[in-house]
Amino acid sequence: MSEYQHLEDVLPGFTDARDIIKGADDSIFPLQYKGDKFEFYRFANRYRMAKRFRGIELDGFEQPTQDGYSALIRVFLVWSVFERYTDLAADPPPHGQLLSLVPKLDFNKLADHIERHDTEHKLYDFLYDLSLEGSRHYLKRYRDGDRRGVIFYAAAIRHIYAHGHLTAHPNGCNADDVLTICDALADFLLELIQKDFSRRVKIAMAGGD
């Protein structure tokens, strides 16, 4: 068993990536990342934490409310690691490089799922009104038909939750709907990171072809 099996289990290919880095005098350039090995290892550990997050326990709260808060915190963790990953990948907002790898059908499925659970656009309106200008810009693009902007739901949730304005029932939303929306966003982003990471490892192992 690998010394780093705990990371290999959540990020398949980590052991190969580590060997590639060591073989390149500790450079992460063969993986087409920028920065240094410490930034890569920090990302991997943050990814593991987000991937393994299983919720919180709150004394005296109804289960749907507790689950809603757990889902919000999960998105907070996942968007944070996604930001770290886009830094490594030198892919700033709107993250066009990474998002170009995602089939349009996958964006449509995620957007349709969210809209089925936010039929009155209560969550969208709440996030749009309180999000940072950058996220608001991409949320507007999403509303206008660019479904790639759906990932900025997660950016807005992370920001608004961190500043204390987001509860498990934002703008009167049902907590179960918040839960399913947050889980879909988190799963989508974790899978996107995994797929891009795997792609880079395969390219590096093939000699950069």
Compute the distance between CA of residue 150 and CA of residue 115 in angstroms, rounded to an integer: 10
Q: Which pLDDT score is estimated for 208?
A: 56
Q: What confidence tens digit (pLDDT) does each residue in 42-81 have?
A: 999 999 999 999 999 999 999 988 999 999 999 999 999 9
Average of per-residue pLDDT values in the chain = 94
Whole-number percent of the chain with pLDDT over 70: 98
Q: What percent of the chain has pLDDT over 90?
A: 88
| pLDDT score of 67 | 93
Per-residue pLDDT tens digits for 98-116: 999 999 999 999 999 999 9
Tokens of 48: 């593991």
Distances in Å between the Cα of 59 and the Cα atoms of 24, 67, 157, 178 are: 50, 12, 24, 20
In this prediction the pTM is 0.95
Q: How many domains does the chain have?
A: 1
DSSP H or E run through 202? helix 175-205
Condensed to tens digits (0 to 9), the pLDDT of residues 118-168 reads 999 999 999 999 999 999 999 999 999 999 999 999 999 999 998 888 888
Banded pLDDT at 175 (limits 50, 70, 90): confident
List, in sequence order, the alpha helices (H) in 56-151: 63-88, 96-99, 104-116, 122-130, 133-143
Domain residue limits at 122: 5-205
